[in-house]
Amino acid sequence: MKITETLKSIDRKTYIIIGVAVIVIAAAVLIIRRARRKSEGEKGVEELGKTIQTMNLTYELPQYSTFADALESHLSDKGITAGLYGVNQKGVYEVFGKMNTNDDVKQLIVAFGTRQFRKAYTFGRHDCTLSQALALLMTTGEIREINEILKENNITYQF
């Protein structure tokens, strides 16, 4: 009884102030989480880059940037080849099919870095590493297919 009486005694202006404060706090939490996730993703990519043995790379370094750009395009496909989430799965599989060593995959991840994606039917963009983008935009079956392609090429790295 005392709670309802107390709530009734609070004026409308106070409710508005409390509501705005809650929205501001929620927005701040989301911004901090996004920044932390991006920072952690970038650290992971940096650490992975330190493990690459360049003598095991199949291609020249600029080619990995080309592969990464192609993946970004395939993961953001708006055309007729796009699947449920706007992903050109065939294009993604083709890029991974060109990887011949674990270090090729690692260099591809480094070249991809962190890029922004928007999942279909959602608001906002997500800063994603390659692994995060695959998890966000592809089904577990599609990721399994990528891993099978890598396995067929004697690559042990898995997503």
- The pTM of the full predicted model, rounded to 2 decimals, is 0.68
Rounded to a whole number, what is the distance in angstroms from the first to the last CA of the chain?
Answer: 56
Q: Is 87 part of any domain?
A: yes
Could you tell me which of 108, 104, 99, 102 has the C-alpha nearest to residue 134?
Answer: 108
Q: Is 99 part of any domain?
A: yes
Q: Is 14 part of any domain?
A: no
Q: Is 88 part of any domain?
A: yes
89: domain range? 42-152
Q: Is 91 part of any domain?
A: yes
* Strand pairing class (126-128; 115-117): antiparallel
Chain segment 55-73, per-residue pLDDT in tens: 999 999 999 999 999 999 9
Q: Which residue has the higher pLDDT, 56 or 126?
A: 56
Q: Is 25 part of any domain?
A: no
Half-sphere exposure of 44 (CA within 13 A, CB side): 15
Q: Is 28 part of any domain?
A: no
Number of domains the chain is built from: 1
Length of the chain: 159
Bridge partners for 116 per DSSP: 127
**Strand, helix or coil for residue 84:** coil
Q: Which residue has the higher pLDDT, 50 or 155?
A: 155
Q: Is 10 part of any domain?
A: no
Name the least confident of 65-74, 112-121, 138-147.
112-121
Plot region of 98 (φ>0 → left; ψ -120 to 50 → alpha; else → beta) = alpha
Half-sphere exposure of 30 (CA within 13 A, CB side): 9
